[in-house]
C-alpha cells in the first residue's frame, strides 16, 4: 500500500496535479487545520475539490488529523521546538484514536495534504508515519 504526502506551497498547480496523477493518487485527504485561507490559491477548499475531480481524484477533509490551534501557534511562535511539537502531535493522534473508524483501504493510494513545501517538519509526515505503524505493508512517499 502506498501512502503519499504532499504540500502545495512552492508548487504551481501544474506541478501539484501532475505529481498526483503520475503517482497514481486516487484520493486526497486534506489534513490542514485551516483549508479556507485565501493564501492557499488553488489548494483553497473552495477550489481544490473541483480541481481534483477534473483529475479523477476524490477529496476528503479529515480534521481529526489536524493539529490543535494551540499546538500550531506554539510552534509557529517558537514557544516550543519541533521535537516538542512532534511529541504533542503524536499524543493528539493517540488521544483522538483516529484510526478506530478507518481501515487500510481508506489510505490506499491516498495523499495527505498540508501546506509545507517539504515533509521534514510537517504534521503530514507524522500522520503518515502513525498510519504506517498501524497497517502492514504501508509505504510512505513524500511528493
- CATH classification at residue 125: 3.90.190
> In this model, does residue 35 exceed pLDDT 90?
no
Q: Model pTM?
A: 0.91
CB atoms within 10 A of CB 113: 27
CB atoms within 10 A of CB 96: 12
Task: Give 123's pLDDT tier (boundaries 50, 70, 90).
Answer: very high
Percent of the chain exceeding pLDDT 90 equals 68
What per-residue confidence (pLDDT) applies to 104?
83
Rounded alpha-carbon distances, angstroms, from residue 98 to 69, 75, 108, 119, 127:
18, 22, 17, 20, 10
- Over residues 67-111, the pLDDT tens digits come to 999 999 999 999 999 999 999 999 999 999 988 888 888 898 999
Domain that holds residue 114: 2-142
What per-residue confidence (pLDDT) applies to 39?
60
- What is the count of structural domains for the chain? 1
Q: What is the chain's mean pLDDT, rounded?
A: 91
Amino acid at each position: 500500500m502506498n501512502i503519499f504526502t504532499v504540500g502545495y506551497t512552492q508548487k504551481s498547480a501544474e506541478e501539484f496535479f501532475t505529481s498526483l496523477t503520475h503517482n497514481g493518487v486516487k484520493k486526497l485527504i486534506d489534513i490542514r487545520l485551516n483549508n479556507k485561507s485565501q493564501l492557499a490559491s488553488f489548494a483553497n477548499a473552495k477550489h481544490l475539490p473541483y480541481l481534483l475531480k477534473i483529475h479523477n481524484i476524490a477529496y476528503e477533509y479529515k480534521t481529526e488529523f489536524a493539529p490543535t490551534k494551540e499546538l500550531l501557534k506554539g510552534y509557529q511562535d517558537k514557544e516550543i521546538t519541533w521535537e516538542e511539537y512532534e511529541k504533542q502531535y503524536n499524543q493528539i493522534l493517540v488521544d483522538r484514536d483516529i484510526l478506530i473508524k478507518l481501515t487500510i483501504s481508506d489510505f490506499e493510494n491516498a495523499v495527505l495534504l498540508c501546506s509545507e513545501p517539504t515533509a521534514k517538519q510537517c504534521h503530514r509526515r507524522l500522520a503518515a508515519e502513525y498510519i504506517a505503524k498501524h497497517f502492514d505493508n504501508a509505504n510512505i512517499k513524500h511528493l
